[in-house]
Amino acid sequence: MNKKIIFTDKNQRELNRTLSGSFPVCVEHDMLSDFIKRTVLHHWHPELEMAAVLQGSVICQINGVSCRLEKGTGIFINTNVLHGYLPDGEQDCIYEAIRFDPSLLGQPGSCIYENLVTPVLSSVNLSSILLSKNVGWQKEFLTAIEEIGNLEQEKASCLELKILERLTRIWQLLYENTMEPALQTPQSAKDIARMKQAITFVQNSCHSIITLDDIAGSCSLSQSECCRLFKRILRQSPMEYVITCRINKSLPLLAEGTLSITEIAGQTGFQSSSYFTETFRRMTGMTPSQYRKQAALSLSRI
């Protein structure tokens, strides 16, 4: 069975898995092992996203900040927020994921949209919310996600109305409780600021030669402190992140199909096409050429 892949453009906006215009909701019962290397690559989209973990655990990264999700927890991700999912050790993760267009809650310009939807979409403090069944309203939120998943699998009668009913309830819970802090992490504000500086530097420079000293200097840390910061927040070393960033940047170039493998290797910071191919295969389980063919096939169906 072919593995699932998130295709993105050069700005990491998701290109596939578009929503239906007639009822813009996507309900997916996913296993992390369905994706290459059990990893959902970083991406963003204008739709809202929420997920509830049914079994196992997963590392969710929101704007470069990591949190661990396990059974009984989940997450709400606001529109246009960069996010991805990584394996938590060797175990798999089964989760219900829902994406929907906020216009489903009310047409832009309507009083519902302007008074109850827009404030959440535009809140700088609500890029995401970590959900737990130990919190009353969040338990109801997670239960509604699971109910939507069950309705979709059962192909229930009046399916769209029942999904919309639960999405409306979810939004009411969200709106009434947005004074709850957005995604909480044990990291200090200074650590987060330094992490963002380092990530920005790597993303802007990964097409050229980068050393650990360069990355450490970008966030005003020693090499050892920089390594600890990356391990603590991103759960990988600085140089591992550089490789991840280079591979991520190669994906839209491969999907576009206009450049050769050698040209893409050069534009994404790899010293040779053979090293690029070797690294790409190790990280994704397929060669760049195989990815290009699969991307062309998937995008032709959009």
- Structure-model confidence comparison of residues 40 and 10, the more confident one: 40
pLDDT > 70 fraction of the chain, expressed in percent and rounded: 93
pLDDT tens-place string over residues 185-241: 445 667 878 888 898 899 889 899 999 999 999 999 999 999 998 887 777 899 988
Domains of the chain: 25-176 (2.60.120.280), 189-299 (1.10.10.60)
Bigger pLDDT: 216 vs 183: 216
pLDDT tens readout for residues 242-291: 998 898 889 888 888 899 999 999 999 999 999 999 999 887 778 999 88
CA separation for the pair 285, 291 (Å, rounded): 9
- 60-85 pLDDT per residue, tens: 988 777 889 999 999 999 998 889 99
Q: Report the pLDDT value the prediction gives residue 233, as an integer from 0 to 100.
A: 73
pTM: 0.67
Least confident of 14-18, 22-26, 51-55, 210-214: 14-18
In this structure, is the dihedral angle defined by the CA atoms of residues 39, 134, 178 and 144, taken in order, positive or negative?
positive
**Lookup: tokens for 132:** 């737990």
Answer whether 302's CB lies under 8 Å from 15's CB.
yes
End-to-end CA distance of the chain: 20
- 3-state DSSP of 125-194: CCCEEEEECCCHHHHHHHHHHHHHHHHHHHCCCCHHHHHHHHHHHHHHHHHHCCCCCCCCCCCCHHHHHH
Q: Inform me whether the pLDDT recorded for 158 exceeds 60.
A: yes
